Structure 1
Amino acid sequence: MKEFEKKLQEFQTLIGKDDAKSERIKAQIVEWLEQNGDDDAREKCKALVLQNLKRIDEDIATIRQQIATEYDILPISYIAKHYFKKSASWLHQRINGYCVRGKVYTLNEEQKQIFNNACKDIAKKIGSLQLT
């Protein structure tokens, strides 16, 4: 296996991670590829990018499809503030796959679990609500 293929494999394992360490390693890999990559490396990088853009598009479509009819009744700002400790726009960006600072963000697996738990928790609270 060529060195650039090892670098691409490592890069692929970091896709979707946005912690500081992962971002630093990804930047180092990109720098290495820019300095050492040949035409074969560029083609494989391009294929990797296109593959991941397709995956992101599919993730966004899946999320939107799953919450399509309920989207209007979901308390997005409440979920963002109380379950993610983030702004409503932060959650909207991830649900809708908006491009922010040149990068498309979606919910990662951990965030999807938090979102699902938030919906279940809110459903329980609403289900137990009664006026007397």
Structure 2
Amino acid sequence: MKSIEEKINDLKIRFRTASKEELGKIDIEMEHLAVENPEAFSKAMLEAARQTVINTEELRIKEKLDKILPIVSVSYLAKTYFGKTPQWFYQRLNGNIVNGKEARFTDQEIKVISKALNDIGDKLIKSSQLIA
């Protein structure tokens, strides 16, 4: 049997692509969950809101990288700085579902990306100075 958290997450996923009719059904299901166990429902909704904030931050990361990704090789970033594949990088960048969970960059991985971009920038500046 699914927990209230799992049920809310399922409804949240359905909500993203729901028709008007489906939205009404989702509202009714949410009301039933709230009545069934108000305290657990409140905790689950707070966790869902926290996850939404995290997802929003990840979207901001994607937007911030949007201008440089056509320039910088994701393959190079993933292999050189993470020892991973480009698919691994894109899964986290796009929030793909991997093994039943939404893939995302950890705080440490975000720091690695920042340092990697600084390193690449330094290399570009040095190369530019050599040919100037």
Contact 1:59 1:106 in 2 (8 A): no
TM-score w.r.t. structure 2 length? 0.62
Cα deviations by residue, 1:64-97 (Å, 9 ceiling, x for unpaired): 2212211211221111111111111111111121
Letter in 1 for 2:110: K
Match of 1:79 among 54, 73, 77: 77
State the match for 2:124 in structure 1.
126
Q: Distance in 2 between matches of 1:74 and 1:59?
A: 22
The reply to whether residue 42 of structure 1 matches residue 40 of structure 2 is yes
Q: How many residues align?
A: 95
State the match for 1:97 in structure 2.
95
Identical positions, percent: 24
Q: Which runs of 5+ in 1 are unaligned?
A: 1-37
Contact 1:81 1:87 in 2 (8 A): yes
- CA-CA distance at 1:110 after TM superposition: 0.9
Q: Distance in 2 between matches of 1:48 and 1:84?
A: 33
Segments of 4+ in structure 1 off by > 4 A? none
Contact 1:56 1:106 in 2 (8 A): no
Cα deviations by residue, 1:36-57 (Å, 9 ceiling, x for unpaired): xx82453134314421331232
Q: Distance in 2 between matches of 1:93 and 1:102?
A: 13
Q: Distance in 2 between matches of 1:89 and 1:44?
A: 37
Give the secondary-structure state (helix, strand or coil) at the position aligned to 1:74. coil
TM-score w.r.t. structure 1 length? 0.62
RMSD value, Cα: 2.1
Give 1 or 2 for the bigger CA radius of gyration: 2
